[in-house]
Amino acid sequence: MSGVDEVLGLNGDEVTEVLATAALAPSLYNSQPWRFRLAHDRIELHPDPARRMPATDPGDRELRLACGAALFNLRLALRARGIRPLVTLIPGADAPGALAIVRHGGLRDFDDETRRLVAAVPRRRTDRRPFRAAPVPTAHRHALVRAAERERSWLHAVTDRGERARLQALVAEAHRVQAEDPAARAELAAWTGPRGADGVPPASAGVRPAPQDEWALRDFGGVERVPGKDYEPDPLVVVLCSFTDGPLAELQAGQALQRVLLTATDLGLAASFLSQAVEVRSVRQELRHSIGGAVVPQSVLRVGFGSPVPPTPRRAVEDLLLEGVPTTGR
């Protein structure tokens, strides 16, 4: 597939499956901003600069979150084949430009949790439609918090009524700022609608926003809602945070994001994003301040009980491969 016969002891078909699993990760506007370089002894994860969102994500923070999520899937896919993945984040001179190198860390049987999370990968979807009115049980919320902790991140659940109202106002404010920014509007428009292998297709757009909505969801041109079928009154809203700022923390938070989303899927929960509040710089600062200032907000999620949602498209694995051998050998 790439001029390399065997990668981490896997044959071509197995490597294709592993990379296809990685590529099922979520990404801003389904931009799929990841590329892979293969060698006998490693899989390198690289960003795809052609898939940046300069207006919505000027610092590439969400690009790295998405790549972190893809890395988590990659780790799972290797574990499911009995390979313990050894990951180096931001490897520097060992692989210039790479976000991560994954090497073979020995053989190991996989556990039940890996089995459940791997099974959740193709079932996970972003669900932008109204959820059922049922509240998320406390035990489920704790499981999501633990999932973030497992990936060295922090999940802050917004349960206090006052804090919830403040966050709603912050999301609305950020939403308004982006709606008034022609460049951000153009990016949203460019990635909305049928595009083939990427973008947010009409079937995934959710419902059209209405004045009574408490949370400002991004408008992907969804359908009119069934009359009287409004958004759930009490979604679980969580803020995924890292402990520090910067690319390494963002890659860690991306892995945590995916562990949280897959854990939610496994528990029968659905999720969608309220990213405006972490994209608009001034609003993100306010959000950080409002949750205590010590942790760094990376992603805001709405979680609840959804209904079946169709999958979004993905690019072919061949199109994700960076040609050429890694600069340094094994």
Ligand X SMILES: Cc1cc2nc3c(=O)[nH]c(=O)nc-3n(C[C@H](O)[C@H](O)[C@H](O)COP(=O)(O)O)c2cc1C
Instruction: Give residues in contact with ligand X (CB under 6 A).
Output: 26-30, 62, 65-66, 69, 125-126, 128, 200, 204, 218, 272-273, 275, 299, 312
Contacts of 140 (CB under 8 A, 6+ apart): 264, 267, 269
| Residue nearer to ligand X on the CB measure, 42 or 129 | 129
Measured CA to CA, the distance from residue 296 to residue 99 in angstroms comes to 20
DSSP per-residue letters across 117-161? HHHHTTT--B--SPPPSPPPPHHHHHHHHHHHHHTT-EEEE--SH
Task: Tally Cβ neighbours within 10 Å of residue 162.
Answer: 7
User: Least CB distance from residue 321 to ligand X, whole Å?
Assistant: 21
| Beta carbon of residue 221, minimum distance to ligand X (angstroms, whole number) | 12
Q: How many CB atoms lie within 10 A of CB 185?
A: 14
d(CA 233, CA 236): 10
Shortest distance in whole angstroms from residue 96 CB to ligand X = 25
**Nearest CA among 215, 200, 175, 174 for reference residue 301:** 215
Residue identified by tokens 């669900």 is 127
**Beta carbons of 302 and 276 less than 8 angstroms apart:** no
What backbone torsions phi and psi does residue 253 show, to the nearest 5 degrees?
-65, -35
- Least separation in angstroms between residue 283's CB and ligand X is 13
**In this complex, which beta carbon is closest to ligand X, that of residue 23 or of residue 80?**
23
Between 66 and 262, whose beta carbon lies closer to ligand X? 66
- Nearest distance, CB of residue 106 and ligand X, angstroms: 31
CB of 52 to ligand X, least distance (A): 13
- Give CA–CA dist 67/56, Å, rounded: 17
Which has the closest alpha carbon to 62: 240, 201, 203? 240
- Provide the minimum distance between the beta carbon of 324 and ligand X in the complex, in angstroms, as a whole number: 28
Query: Nearest approach, Cβ of 330 to ligand X (angstroms)?
Result: 32
Rounded to an integer, what distance in angstroms lies between the CA atom of residue 48 and that of residue 197? 15
Please name the helix (run of DSSP H) or strand (run of DSSP E) that holds residue 282, with its range, or none: helix 281-290
Residue nearest to ligand X (CB): 26
Nearer to ligand X, 12 or 209 (CB): 209
Ranges of beta strands (E only) in the chain are 34-39, 42-47, 83-89, 100-107, 154-157, 236-242, 270-273, 296-304
The residue (of 38 and 253) whose beta carbon lies closer to ligand X is: 253
- Pick the closer one to ligand X by CB: 69 or 158: 69
Least distance between ligand X and beta carbon 118 (Å) = 16
Nearest to 264 by CA among 313, 220, 304: 304
Question: Hey, which residues does 299 pair with through a beta bridge?
Answer: 240
